[in-house]
Amino acid sequence: MNRTRRSILALAILVSVASHAQEATIENVLRSRSRGSGTIMKNNELAGYWNFYQVDREDSKNNSFRMAMFDNNLASAGEIKITRPKASYLMENVFNGKAFMFLYLNGKEIEMETYDAKGAKLGSATYEDASKWERMRMTQALQMGTNAEVNQSIFPMGDEGFIKQTLVKGDKRGYQLVAYDNQLKEVWVTTASLAGEIENLDVIEVTDKYIIGSVLKQKNLFDMPDNTLLAMFDVKTGKRLWEKEISHQGKPMTVLNAFQVEGKDEILLLGEYFEPKANIIKGKSQGMYSMRLGLDGVPLQTELYNWEKDVLPFVPTDEKGKQDMRRIFVHKVVRLPNGTVHLIGEEYNKAVSPTGGIQLTMRDMFIFELDAELKLKRCEVVPKTKSRVAFPTEYAQLSGSVLAQLVKLMGYFDYEFTTVDNNGGRYFCTYTDYDRSKNEDGDKIGTYAGTIVGDGVNKVTLDKYDVKAKGATYFRVFPAKPGYILVSEYRRKLKRITYRLERVNF
């Protein structure tokens, strides 16, 4: 990143953290996955954290696992002990406020377990109808390494159960949604019609009333879908309420994110739009859009933001006077009390990787500010170092926007989370950065967490916090109690996971 672009915003470059941070340490960690941890939310407030890890080999056939839990001050809140077959791999895990759900690949079997927040086992089940496509999805993830991530397929259903997104069994591929209660008893099943087509569903949002997902339909495996459909399901019954094509004035659109508008019976859709008759899988998008959609699927308002005409003018020039930008993936939408709407996004582009495959390169953070009518007011760019995710050559035919959705599902964007202060007047967007530049002493800066602060009135500001992750196998950053962020590190050589609360200057 050039120096001119780095200095375009008035940013606080490095903020020191408290020297006496609160910490918690987990010892004897034989193996830990970077996504094998998360936050515990109660009544929409952060109550604590959990971490799933392997501690030992129980015997020749089984391994021992633990899940440690902490409150928001990092005091121990309990532990769950789990014994699993040696050939078993934890692929996904989520918490719904009352129960944890674990999804395993055990040989050719897909198995599930649930536990309450005190560590008591609630239920277990084998996913009997797992298709060859479902097993292939998990097996391919494991082939990428023991710390690989699989696309998310389980979601909380309020605090009363879980939704499992999968593919139907058989040669004809189609989506299936299965709802379970906290004891893993099946509540309902919804299956694609499979009327001579392959139907793929990606769940985007699960609320207390609805499931919202994007649908792609193709005649066969070699066919390319022409447009994106949006589907809504009743979360209590699984009934598909409607399924509609997303387009505007003949322009096909992709759906990258969907958010229920707080206090209104509306959905805000975000994605990219294309030229009429363009292929959304292989084509190059013309820009971004935002769309207000009624709960009946009828568009109420659509706004287009063209890359060249509307967004590029906000991008700073480099030392050669050149303006340069790629595509943007919107991670979060924040509506502030003054009526402004903020789209928090991350720049990316598709390119050939050094190994001969393809890769998605993540670049700068972009903050789009919209007025109450969703008109683009301004865009601010927060520079960060590039990071990359590689894909096999067979993914080369997919567009950058499709690959971006896969990267989002696997949790590989640099964006971490966004919080809003108690009165709703400011938002705090935290991301990670792997800075290869050097400080005044000539040492590499290394890894830091950056927090972008916006209030809808002034330009955004940025604080950076050195997470001191040198030598860590992986690290993650989590939201924390007001005035803090939480940094989690795993050091395989030391067999240790460390949590620490670091004070930040909001």
Q: Please write the tens of the pLDDT for every residue from 141-194.
A: 666 554 556 678 899 998 999 999 887 765 557 888 999 999 999 999 998 876
Q: Quick check: 347 pLDDT over 90?
A: yes
Which residue is it, tokens 């086992």? 121
235 SS3 class: coil
**Angle in degrees, CA 228, 234, 235, rounded to 5:** 105
Q: Which whole number is the average pLDDT over 108-118? A: 87
Reported as type and span, the H/E element at residue 139 is helix 132-143
Q: Please write the tens of the pLDDT for every residue from 10-64.
A: 222 222 233 344 899 999 998 887 777 888 887 777 889 999 888 988 888 898 9
Q: Please write the tens of the pLDDT for every residue from 244-260.
A: 999 999 999 988 888 88
Least confident of 77-86, 99-108, 127-136: 127-136
Reported as type and span, the H/E element at residue 142 is helix 132-143
Check residue 464 and give its pLDDT: 84
Beta-carbon count within 10 A of 156 CB: 18
The reported pTM is 0.81
Domain positions in the chain are 150-248, 254-410
What number of residues does the chain have? 506
Check residue 17 and give its pLDDT: 31
- Residue 442, judged by CB atoms within 10 A of its CB (0-12, 13-18, 19+), counts as exposed
% of the chain at pLDDT higher than 90: 33
Separation of alpha carbons 245 and 251, rounded Å: 11
Separation of alpha carbons 96 and 117, rounded Å: 10
407 SS3 class: helix
pLDDT band at residue 9 using 50, 70 and 90 as cut-offs: very low
Measuring CA to CA, how many Å separate 273 from each of 278, 282, 286, 299, 340?
Answer: 10, 13, 6, 15, 23
pLDDT band at residue 5 using 50, 70 and 90 as cut-offs: very low
Q: What is the mean pLDDT of the chain?
A: 83
Check residue 133 and give its pLDDT: 66
Separation of alpha carbons 139 and 150, rounded Å: 9
Q: What is the 3-state secondary structure (H, E, C) of 153-198?
A: CEEECCCCEEEEEEECCCCCCEEEEEEEECCCCEEEEEECCCCCCE
Burial pattern 71-93, b for ≥16 Cβ within 10 A else e, equals: bbebeebeebebebeeebbbbbb
